[in-house]
Each structure stands twice: as structure tokens, then as C-alpha cells.
Amino acid sequence: MSKSNKYGYSGVDIPTQAAFANVGKFDPAEINELVQEDKWTQYGQLELIETQSSTSYTEMTFSDIKETTYNVHVLQFSNVKMPSGAGTHYPGFRFSQGGTFNTSNYDYAASWFSLTGSGNSSVRNSNHGNIAVGIGSSHSLNFSGYAYFYNLGDSIRYSYATGQIVLSETGGTVFNSYFSGASPYTSQVDGIKFMSTNTPTMTSGTFSLYGIRYS
């Protein structure tokens, strides 16, 4: 900016600006400039990256996840339906590195409780086809939930996920599952895919991926 009067100040003592530490009086052009430089205080740090919805799909892929902007991502998914007759469903998440989705070596554990059972049960695997959300069922399924992803843009750390779902399956059983897992590779993750290892055609589902700003 060529103005000699900047942020309401003149002379050489112009305050340095940073998000959550803005000082001065600002005209619209200065605000626009600071927004572009990510130096303007803005609230609303749960930022929508993309929403996808479909009535017929085998997997839902996010290929522009802004992994270098966010340390923590959140995925909300709702009304995901999987039909019976396609074998056992193991829905979960895969990560891509260098544009290629890894198909194995994911590691996860999950625990659940249900309307019909007593206590809780758990499942785990250290070499799976995805970070599973804990479902292993051949029934038709309808579920919703969320997942947090950590360190996707970090090239010295593994990539991690935690989350929870609530699910209703044929026959009326309702249960929840909370899960955690990792992809034990240190390359940057540049894509997230929701899929089942049996890749059935899913008949509905809405997925919204968010980044937590400044995380």
C-alpha cells in the first residue's frame, strides 16, 4: 500500500498487524489487504472446505483438503445408507499420498454399545484396508457421525483419526461406535476417501469436510 497514512497512523511508527492483534483504524482497502495476507482478525474458525452428497456412489472422495492450511480437519457425515447383499461392510477412511490412495496397512480400534447388548464390545486391526469406524455388518445400514483427522499435512508424522458414529441396521438394532486409528506413513496426505472394503453402492450420504483454522 502506497499511502503514507496507514492503519490510521502516519510517519514511521506503523504497527505490525497480525490476526487477533490488529491495531489502528482501517479503511476497507486495508482490511481487504490484511484479509488476503491472513493478518485480519476473523472469527468462525470452523471453515467448510467442501460438502458432497449423492444418492448412488461406491466411495466419497475429497481431493482438495487444504492439508497445509489445517492441522486438524473435521468430517461430518449423515444419512449414509448401505444396502444388504454386498457382503460384510467395513466402512472407513483411506488417505492418499502423492495422489495415490493407500489400500492397506491402516490401523484402527473401535468400541461400541447397543440397544440390545449388555456392556460394550471392541474390534481392532493393525493391517486393515481403511481406518474403520467399527462397523462389520452384512445388514442394510443407516448411520451418521463425525471424524477428526490430525496431522494430514505433516510429513514427519503419521496421520491419525478419531470419531464416533450412531447406526441403525436392519432388524432395528441401534448402536454407537467410537473409533481411532492411524495410517503409519509420514508423507503428506492430500486426499480423504470414505469407502467400504466391499465397495457396495451406497444409496445416500452427505459428507462435509471442515478445517479448523489456526489449528
Residue ranges that bind another protein, judged by CB under 8 A = 19-20, 43-46, 71-72, 74, 76, 107-111, 120, 122, 124-126, 146, 148, 150-151, 154, 156-158, 160-164, 178-182, 184, 186, 212-215
User: CB-wise, 27 or 154, nearer to another protein?
Assistant: 154
User: CB-wise, 102 or 151, nearer to another protein?
Assistant: 151
Give the nearest distance from C-beta 189 to another protein in angstroms.
13
CA atoms within 13 A on the CB side of 85: 3
Give the nearest distance from C-beta 137 to another protein in angstroms.
19
User: CB-wise, 2 or 127, nearer to another protein?
Assistant: 127
Give the nearest distance from C-beta 28 to another protein in angstroms.
23
Q: How far, in Å, CA of 69 to CA of 182, rounded?
A: 20
Query: Which residues is 30 bridged to in the sheet?
Result: none
Give the nearest distance from C-beta 53 to another protein in angstroms.
18
Backbone phi, then psi, for 34, in 5-degree steps? -70, -35
- Whether 50 and 61 have beta carbons less than 8 Å apart is answered as no
Grid cell in block for residue 76: 461430518
Compute how many other C-beta atoms are within 10 angstroms of the C-beta atom of residue 141.
22
CA atoms within 13 A on the CB side of 24: 21
Give the nearest distance from C-beta 3 to another protein in angstroms.
29
Q: How far, in Å, CA of 75 to CA of 172, rounded?
A: 26
User: CB-wise, 140 or 177, nearer to another protein?
Assistant: 177
User: CB-wise, 14 or 109, nearer to another protein?
Assistant: 109
User: CB-wise, 26 or 150, nearer to another protein?
Assistant: 150
- Whether 14 and 6 have beta carbons less than 8 Å apart is answered as yes
Q: List, in sequence order, every beta strand (DSSP E) within 30-120.
A: 46-53, 59-62, 72-82, 91-97, 100-101, 106-114
Give the nearest distance from C-beta 44 to another protein in angstroms.
5
